[in-house]
Amino acid sequence: MRLVASMAILALMAGCGGGGGASSKNELAANVCEAYAKNQLADKTYELDKDALAASMTTEADGSNALKGPITIEPGRSSESKQTLECSVRFVPGKEEPDVLKMQFIW
């Protein structure tokens, strides 16, 4: 009896884990947004709350997805700047990662 209950719990947990669920899409979108931001910032250091960015993902009327989260550029320096990163992505069938459509740093 315990074995059956354990197997059922494990099956439920595996179904919630990964492999294309909403949270993994959010994480993929946040990852490509971070990579794009890193490229834009060149050699500047930054701190990005990627969990908040992923959790903020919403679907827009045109089918794209919008993400928004806090980013600190050059943290701990006199030139430190706290901003909001806004990123728009689109998932394309057949591609694992979404395309970045637009990115803005909001002061």
The number of folded domains in the chain is 1
- Containing structural domain, residue 34: 22-106
Query: Is residue 1 a part of any domain in this protein?
Result: no
Using the predicted structure, report yes or no on whether residue 6 has a pLDDT greater than 90: no
**Predicted pLDDT at 11:** 38
Q: How confident is the model at residue 13 (pLDDT cuts 50, 70, 90)?
A: very low
What is the C-alpha separation between 53 and 60, in angstroms, rounded? 16
What is the C-alpha separation between 31 and 87, in angstroms, rounded? 11
Query: Is residue 9 a part of any domain in this protein?
Result: no
Query: Is residue 31 a part of any domain in this protein?
Result: yes
Q: Which residue has the higher pLDDT, 36 or 9?
A: 36
**Predicted pLDDT at 5:** 37
pLDDT digits (tens, 9 = 90+) for 42-60: 999 999 999 999 999 999 9
Whole-model pTM: value is 0.77
